[in-house]
Structure 1
Amino acid sequence: MTDVDLRQLRTFVAVAECGSFTDAAALLEVSQPSVSRGIAALERALDVRLLDRNTRECVPTVEGARFLAEVRVALDAVDRAVASVAPSRVRRRALRFALKADSDAGLLPEVLARFAADGADRPAVELVFAETSELADLVRRGAADVALVVGPDHGDTRLFHGVEVEPVWRESRVAVLPAGHELAARGVLARADLDDEPVLAWPDLPPSYDRYYRGADRLPPERAPRPGPAARNLAEALRLVELGRGVTFLPLSVAERSRRPTVAVVPVDDLSASVAYVAWREGSRDRAIAALLEATLAAASARRAEAPAAVVRSVYRPGSTSR
């Protein structure tokens, strides 16, 4: 039988999730040479290379990724077994919840409160803020346990490769214009009303998200938006709109939370909806992760019951379109 111990397995998971021997050592509160020796011993015992190392990062090999998925399941089972007879001996690490800082539609406090109230043994939740295009990859690499990804309906499927997702809510999108714009006083617009306006580009995002923020995801090729300056983040986009350099299209909740006197928010009745997904690692059987997912769904469902239809148009339920 292969001579492998739990310490080696936990060390391997830490390195794979942190992407660094140094960071893994800090997480485990051991020395870096100890981590290196543990990984070397594990690879010798299995006679397989589990990690690719370079000067910038450390990532699992194909065999390492396969092993990582099974090891996580095994360690979860060990922790549950220990907790069943000696709960105080289990050291619960915080769950890492990744999201774009301005994308939760104001639901995050309710999600965290529901999760914490659901059981005294719930682990803490550590928030990991990142850009939209990075979120699913954080889950895929093990750097986050759950992510909230907001964007076009089903988005860019490449973002979701290797993770499981569940749509949580969908909401209307709006045009964000300079406050003095002649269209700012209109009660509702059509996308065609803005065909002559320069539209901000989002070059750092995947193509499907760039089209989504430019309101171009339903436009035929011959109606490509008039190009405007590039924005790398929401703060830059709002500043460019204020200065009259262009317009952009945002989920209603994001636009409302970012509202200021110098910009106007106007509904656009023929834009596609914005959809929020929760994403988690493929094959996860972690009960705490499942509880965090349920808390997110429950908070969104409660919001739907309380909020005007214009804020959250509908809420998906589990099993609706899971992939």
Structure 2
Amino acid sequence: MLTGLSAFPLTPMNEQAIDEAAFIGLVERLAAAGVDSMGVLGSTGNYAYLTRVERARIARLAVAHAGDVPVIIGISALRTRDVLALAEDAEAAGASAVLLAPMSYQPLSDEEVFGLYKAVTARFSVPLCVYDNPGTTRFQFSDELHGRIAQLPRVASIKIPGVPAEPAAARERVERLRALIPPDVTIGVSGDAMAAMGLNAGCDAWYSVIGGLFPKTALAICRAAQAGQADEAMRLSQRLEPLWTLFRQHGGGLRVVATASELLGLAEPPSLPLPLKVLEGQHRQALGFLLEELGLS
């Protein structure tokens, strides 16, 4: 299940409420495009800014409107107690899998992170994806720690933050990790600009920000790589380099995707929780021109 394109939609919201209609529209857009799975309440889904009640509501809406597409639900929180409660809510909502990052305020040790995953996998029956996202969590997984965690029951995938830009180095990085994990645990690449390289290097899945808004565009890259058309996958990705540049300029894909959702009428402004802000002024205008030029879908 945790292979191919896993698309991560925005959770549009303002200071009063979640924009449920917009969220449902995004979920149904992904289901209609035929993505392999969708991941809600990840970083693009603004999970850290929502209450438990709000997160449970989003989980139920996603499952209800995803059709036959498996739904991965984020359960990350600062305390193990809260992670367990969120996992219970996700399972009750009908999650096909859960996604867990080691969130912290105090820096975490390897043993503390291992203990988190051990506690969660001991309590619940759905597959779990390890969310390795040092850009937000500031926690650096070693391959050895990934190997230990991957031996736990129900660990089904590892979401790595990217691969080297050189093909041989990218393949070596994926093979080094694969040698330490069970054969049934998949490796998924994130960091959209590196997705084609990661898939060509042997990653099984692409956990995608851009796929959450433009699933057909992301599917074209993913399917080319899956078919062994490495050059075509790279060509399609490199065509989006102006978009990847915007991601890098604005701290990742969230602000760009939220702004694009507003520009396309898929979410009402404002679509991010304060203090986060979408792109404004000339940056917003430039993104509008870029979306028109690239013709993403």
In the superposition, the TM-score normalised over structure 2's length comes to 0.25
Q: Name the structure where strand makes up a greater proportion of residues.
A: 1
In the superposition, the TM-score normalised over structure 1's length comes to 0.23
Q: Name the structure where helix makes up a greater proportion of residues.
A: 2
- Larger-gyration structure (1/2): 1
